[in-house]
Amino acid sequence: MTDIAPLIKRSLVDQALEQLRQRITQGVWAIGERLPTEPELSAELGISRNTVREAMRVLAFSGLIEIRQGDGSYLRSMTDPLGAMKALSHCTLVQAQETRQILEVEAIGLAALRRTDEDLIALRAALKSSGDHYHGDLEHYISCDLVFHKRLVDAAHNPALSELYQYFSSIVGAQLRQTLNIQPRRQAVFDLHGALLDAVEQQDPERAKALSRQLINEP
């Protein structure tokens, strides 16, 4: 009996989450609006307050709501990032490359126009760290490489693009992992990163975009 109880509880929480997410996507509550209290939601959904509380914690972790101690819960967003991550995790290698072409290439074009001296310092540091590990442990190299690419996108100074790329970076990492587990790492490919940084530094968006496309197709 003790082995079954947690499964029952988890199932109830999942059901509560599904109903609450439905209300959010249907626009029952406006962004910034205070949500009903736990007792009110418990009565409305026909479940215990403990189950409601657990579901609300998951929603807060997802960024959909904000729980203010002593004040209540407020709606922060109508889009569930966990749902977006689930969809991204099922994309194919080709779909990931297509998405990078749209998102990353254009962001890097903007970065070439908008980068600051501070951006260049951070980019050089990230590229050096990436280069130090290029021929070493694969996971360490991928982690360093993602930092470099994220800083490139951040240099576009568009918070929406940075946020999107933050979610997508795990898919970029998976793409690199899949490719580099099959193909050997080649210095000529890594050198493209340096050329890309030079194009950004020289504020040449077309060259930066062309090099970015080349890197995506040949990581």
Residue 110 confidence (pLDDT)? 97
Q: Which domains does the chain have, with CATH numbers?
A: 5-79 (1.10.10.10), 83-217 (1.20.120.530)
Using an 8 Å Cβ cutoff, are 157 and 168 in contact? Answer: no
Q: Locate tokens 């908008």: which residue?
A: 114
> What percentage of the chain carries pLDDT values higher than 90?
43
At 142-163, the pLDDT tens digits run 889 999 999 999 999 998 888 8
Residue 9 confidence (pLDDT)? 42
Using an 8 Å Cβ cutoff, are 47 and 19 in contact? Answer: no
Indicate the range of 21-25, 93-97, 186-190 predicted with least confidence.
93-97
Local confidence band at 87 (pLDDT 50, 70, 90 cut-offs):
low
- Asked if the model's pLDDT at residue 89 lies above 80, the reply is no
